[in-house]
């Protein structure tokens, strides 16, 4: 039986990156792959990036090869990445859901090898699959990560993962070349392939994570139910990285730190979560600011100050944050 797949891409001011992503999909539809649809969810972009899809990869509402439909869902406000992913996946009957960032590009070596790998009996317990991501020079990115623990988060907050990586391994598995396939704690959400039935069983992404840590949380909940998260080195896709957030470094820092606190609140004990929150609010901004000043980067220093100010302003909401909706 040929497996079916739905591709969900969340767009927020991705510009030409989105068009390139959409235009790359037909080349990946080779071999035993059936594309149910590609759904682009636009989170109130101001750059018109979703408006140009008809000229950049569509033909009468379909991918340029005349295949599966491409649907553009337009939100009147930015609902966040997790909520938009759930929105794009809703109603799918495909076997697999692929959450694909707009700063990625697929090729003939992306989907068919991945789905063939998943069809092997040995992969019957694989719930989520990530593939090898490469940059502009063809270099393999270190995209898989370790599950956050209180110790790892605190080490990251004070910069020990950068100063002493041998003793305090960083979040991303930078010591591993990603050239072999293996089970991992987490694959990057830039290319995250998950069984649709499992996604529905888990309740989808936890929409309280506006952006960042949504994929971390989903992978953790997947492994807790007995499924494996696997990195497959036999397939690859291009990934630019920071494609839609590079322009707003202060907001990127704010959302990353806020989501970290939310993750700790959801998965750690109350005293431990309080310790993580305190370190993230106080120690980490100081460490980041000192690093920016030592690097003579005024732009980074401003981003740290602005992002930290936003985080402090969100403190009342963070203190009232509770586990709930998903997982």
User: How far apart (Å, rounded) are the C-alpha atoms in residues 133 and 104?
Assistant: 9
pLDDT at 60: 45
Residue 49 CB contacts under 8 Å (≥ 6 apart), including other chains: 11, 13, 14, 15, 16, 17, 18, 19, 42, 102
pLDDT, tens digit, for every residue of 121-143? 999 999 999 999 999 999 999 99
Instruction: Decide: 211 and 259 in contact? Cβ < 8 Å.
Output: yes
Q: Under a CB-based contact definition with an 8 Å cutoff, are residues 212 and 171 in contact? A: no
- Give the tokens for residue 23: 């235009």
With beta carbons less than 8 A apart as the criterion, state whether 253 and 304 touch.
yes
Distance CA 279, CA 150 (A): 11
What lies within 8 Å, CB to CB, of 5 at 6+ separation is: 33, 34, 35, 36, 94, 95, 96, 97, 98, 111, 115, 193
Query: Tokens in use for 308?
Result: 């930290």
Separation in Å, CA 206 to CA 83, 129, 219? 8, 19, 11
In the block, tokens 């970290």 appear at: 260
Which one, of 253, 263, 259, lies nearest residue 284 by Cα? 253
**Each residue's pLDDT tens digit, 172-190:** 999 999 999 999 999 999 9
Q: How confident is the model at residue 323 (pLDDT cuts 50, 70, 90)?
A: very low
Of 10, 160, 144, 197, nearest to 85 (Cα)? 10
Strand partners, 10: 41
pTM of the model: 0.93
Residue 238, H or E segment: strand 228-239
Mean pLDDT across 240-265:
85
Better-scored residue on pLDDT, 62 or 229: 229
CB 208 within 8 A of CB 117: no
318 confidence band (pLDDT: 50, 70, 90) = confident
pLDDT digits (tens, 9 = 90+) for 61-118: 566 555 668 899 999 999 999 999 999 999 999 999 999 999 999 999 999 999 999 9
Architecture of domain 4-143+178-239: Alpha-Beta Complex (3.90)
pLDDT of 243 reads: 53
**pLDDT tens-digit profile of 26-54?**
999 988 889 999 999 999 999 999 986 75
Domain spans in the chain, listed from the N-terminal domain onward: 4-143+178-239, 249-319
Q: What's the pLDDT at 321? A: 72
Strand partners, 195: 96
pLDDT at 127: 99
Q: Minimum mean pLDDT among 40-54, 221-235, 254-268, 271-285: which range? A: 40-54
């Amino acid at each position: 039986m040929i497996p079916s797949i739905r591709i969900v891409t969340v767009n927020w001011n991705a510009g030409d990156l989105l068009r390139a992503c959409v235009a790359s999909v037909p080349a990946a539809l080779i071999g035993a792959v059936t594309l149910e649809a590609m759904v682009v969810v636009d989170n109130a972009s101001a750059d018109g990036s979703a408006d140009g899809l008809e000229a950049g990869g569509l033909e009468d509402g379909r991918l340029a090869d005349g295949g599966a439909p491409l649907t553009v869902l337009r939100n009147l406000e930015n609902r966040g990445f997790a909520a938009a992913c759930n929105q794009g996946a809703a109603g799918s009957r495909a076997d697999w859901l692929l959450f694909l960032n707009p700063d990625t590009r697929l090729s003939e070596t992306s989907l068919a090898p991945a789905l063939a790998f998943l069809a092997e009996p040995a992969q019957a317990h694989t719930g989520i699959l990530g593939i090898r991501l490469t940059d502009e020079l063809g270099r393999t990115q270190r995209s898989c990560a370790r599950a956050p623990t209180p110790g790892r988060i605190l080490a990251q907050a004070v910069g020990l993962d950068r100063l002493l990586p041998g003793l305090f391994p960083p979040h991303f598995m930078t010591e591993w070349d990603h050239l072999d396939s293996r089970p991992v704690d987490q694959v990057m959400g830039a290319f995250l392939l998950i069984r649709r039935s499992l996604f529905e069983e888990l309740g989808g992404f936890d929409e309280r994570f506006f952006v960042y840590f949504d994929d971390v949380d989903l992978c953790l909940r997947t492994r807790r139910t007995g499924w494996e998260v696997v990195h497959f080195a036999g397939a690859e896709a291009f990934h630019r990285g920071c494609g839609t957030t590079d322009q707003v470094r202060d907001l990127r820092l704010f959302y990353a730190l806020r989501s970290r606190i939310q993750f700790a609140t959801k998965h750690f004990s109350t005293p431990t979560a309080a310790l993580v929150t305190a370190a993230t609010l106080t120690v980490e901004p100081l460490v980041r600011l000192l690093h920016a000043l030592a690097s003579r980067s005024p732009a980074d220093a401003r981003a740290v100050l602005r992002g930290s100010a936003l985080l402090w302003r969100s403190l009342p909401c963070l203190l009232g944050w509770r586990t709930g909706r998903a997982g």
